[in-house]
Chain A
Amino acid sequence: MIVAQQKPLEEIARLINDCQKVLLVGCAGCVTVCLAGGEKETEFLASALRIKRQLEGNPLETVTFTCTRQCDPEYLLPLDNLIGDVDAVVSLACGVGVQYIAERYPHKWVVPALDTKFAGGSLEQGVWAERCGLCGNCILHLTGGICPVIRCSKSILNGPCGGSQDGKCEIARDVDCAWQLIYDRMKALGKLERLMEIMPPKDWSTARDGGPRRAVREDVIIDA
């Protein structure tokens, strides 16, 4: 999933300083699962912002709605009826959702309430970790199912570098060395010799380096 975390309340409040009425839009997708921007967080943020503004003697009116997903245009339709008189929209989706709302409502000011962090999963209740670098050309079959592109701090494809010690990365004692994990797994699977092959430089044109990306499935496109 896309993992996001809410910006500090102070920062969100600053983004809508000059507004009297705002629409807060949650998302029932990834950000609900990672407890950052679902229905509950949306209601909670709306109350917190109202209380803060009340205390400051500058009351704020809020409207809330949680979309099934903010990254599909059809799920934004219900917002058409809510958006008319608000001064701004606060999106509690990932960066995709914020942009979808901005695109649909060209004359509305839209601000993000979350920082979109990474593509990852949960480790335990309340802890998430990055797992995919979205490079557009998966190599997990070469590295024992552990991604060096995003889990190695240097994206080294022929690791580990000289900073790997006691299974940890040089950048911090609580960061696992991806190449130690790869080594351990390849060894356990009896495939250590495969790591002797020099992995060639990666073609980064399938990643963000190639410019904004699109995915097209011709067979499911509905002709107008």
Chain B
Amino acid sequence: MPEREVKTESKLERLLARGEFVVTAEIGPPKHASADGIRHHARMLKDYVDATNITDCQTAIVRLSSIAAAVHILSCGVEPIVQMTCRDRNRIAMQSDLLGAYSLGARNLLCLSGDHQKFGNHPTAKNVYDIDSIQLINLMRRMRDEKKFFCGEEIKEHEPRFFIGAVANPFADPFEFRVMRLEKKINAGAEFIQTQCIYDMERFERFMEMVRERGLHERAYILAGVTPLKSWRAAKYLQTSVSGMIVPDEIVERLKKAEDPKKEGVEICIEQIRYIREHIPGVHGVHIMAIAWEEVVPEIVQRAGLHPRPKVE
């Protein structure tokens, strides 16, 4: 693949542009005001990933802010991908936070709708949803490339130049529209895409077929999401209780039969990464979401044959 144009200072973008198969992971900030855990995880992931997502009050639970956490991991030498949901901020707060995050050194941003507050620890909260994720992508692109605030006012200097990310969920419905919506995100300005955790490989392959038919893999970098499972109960929970997730029975069964389910969960994850990398064209990397299990990421990266990570000048 010819090298693509690089628009930002993001290390992740430079690696993707020169055709590297990238690895990203995820750190979930804590429900308290100490960054010790975040830094610990960052130091652990440092040599095994190219960048790390910082979730933004995931599942609508109050946690240390994603932008603050990004600064902590930057200080440990890890490049952050700041997640921003549309649930908690209006367009004024979003633009303000985008300026702030960039000034603090963040170079990657991932735009999401965000889980409904009903799932979190403040279900009586008011949600914002002033703009949606596609509009947020577009807002960021305009700030960077047109040097304009949403209102049209010019950003006279020092516009925030983020590498713009979005998510795609091949496992939500309506399936046929998922690729169309991904295309809308790319049209809006998304440059890299991280998918929901893949367990139903056949469906993901069908999704990627449609992505290739529309040429979307040549317009954005697609990172396939994987999540190692610790137990068959965890698999069952995702299968039955989380909207927009598909977990085939065979994965639940495999974990159920395993002598050491955690080990088996890691095995499955490594198999998935190898399969995706070797058999599915158009995928540019993996996004390992080891939820509350960050310490397993180095082993997965190593055994999946993705270590050492490439260097960037």
Please give the residue numbers on chain A whose beta carbons come within 8 Å of chain B beta carbons, in ascending order.
153-171, 177, 180, 183-184, 192, 195-196, 198-201, 204
Contacts and interface: CB of A to CB of B under 8 A. Distances in A.
A153 B129 CA distance: 9
A206 B113 CA distance: 23
B113 A161 contact: yes
B177 interface: yes
Contact of A198 (B115, B169, B184): B184
Interface in B118-174: 118-119, 127, 129-135, 138-139, 150, 167-169, 171-174
Contact of B177 (A156, A171, A195): A195
Given A195-B177, A198-B184, A153 B116 contact: yes
A160 B132 contact: no
Contacts of B131: 201
B118 A163 contact: no
A171 B135 contact: no
Given A162-B196, A163-B172, A171 B132 contact: no
Contacts, number: 97
B78 interface: no
B187 interface: yes
Contacts of B139: 201
A153 B86 CA distance: 12
19 contacts: A153-B116, A154-B113, A154-B116, A155-B129, A162-B196, A163-B113, A163-B115, A165-B172, A165-B244, A192-B180, A195-B177, A196-B180, A196-B183, A198-B187, A198-B188, A199-B135, A200-B135, A201-B135, A201-B139
Contact of A154 (B127, B150, B171, B180): B127
A158 B86 CA distance: 13
A162 B119 CA distance: 15
Interface residues of B, number: 37
B284 interface: no
A168 B116 contact: no
Contact of B129 (A154, A177, A183): A154
Given A159-B132, A180-B174, 17 more contacts: A154-B86, A156-B129, A156-B132, A162-B168, A162-B244, A163-B243, A164-B172, A164-B173, A164-B174, A170-B115, A170-B244, A180-B173, A196-B183, A198-B134, A198-B187, A200-B135, A201-B131
A146 B144 CA distance: 34
Interface in B193-214: 196
B244 A156 contact: no
A204 B91 CA distance: 11
Contacts of A195: 177, 180
Interface of B: 86-87, 91, 113-116, 118-119, 127, 129-135, 138-139, 150, 167-169, 171-174, 177, 180-181, 183-184, 187-188, 196, 243-244
Nearest to B180: A196
B74 to A, nearest CB: 28
A88 B95 CA distance: 49
A162 B169 contact: yes
User: Which of A159, A192, A199, A201: most chain B Cβ within 10 A?
Assistant: A201
Contact of A161 (B118, B130, B133, B180): B133
B313 to A, nearest CB: 36
Contacts of B135: 157-158, 198-201
A170 B112 CA distance: 15
B134 A158 contact: yes
A18 to B, nearest CB: 30
A201 B173 contact: no
A160 B113 CA distance: 10
Going nearest first, the 9 A-B pairs with the smallest beta carbon separation are A162-B169, A170-B243, A158-B134, A156-B132, A161-B113, A201-B131, A163-B243, A155-B129, A162-B244
A163 B132 contact: no
Contacts of A153: 116, 118
A192 to B, nearest CB: 8
A196 B180 CA distance: 7
Contacts of B172: 160-165
A108 B126 CA distance: 33
Given A163-B243, A165-B244, A156 B173 contact: no
A177 B173 CA distance: 10
B173 A165 contact: yes
B138 A198 contact: yes
Contacts of A155: 129, 132
A164 B244 CA distance: 6
User: Which of A167, A169, A171: most chain B Cβ within 10 A?
Assistant: A171
Contacts of B169: 162
Given A157-B132, A170-B243, A201 B150 contact: yes
B75 to A, nearest CB: 32
Contacts of B174: 160, 164, 180, 183-184
Contact of A160 (B129, B168, B177, B187): B177
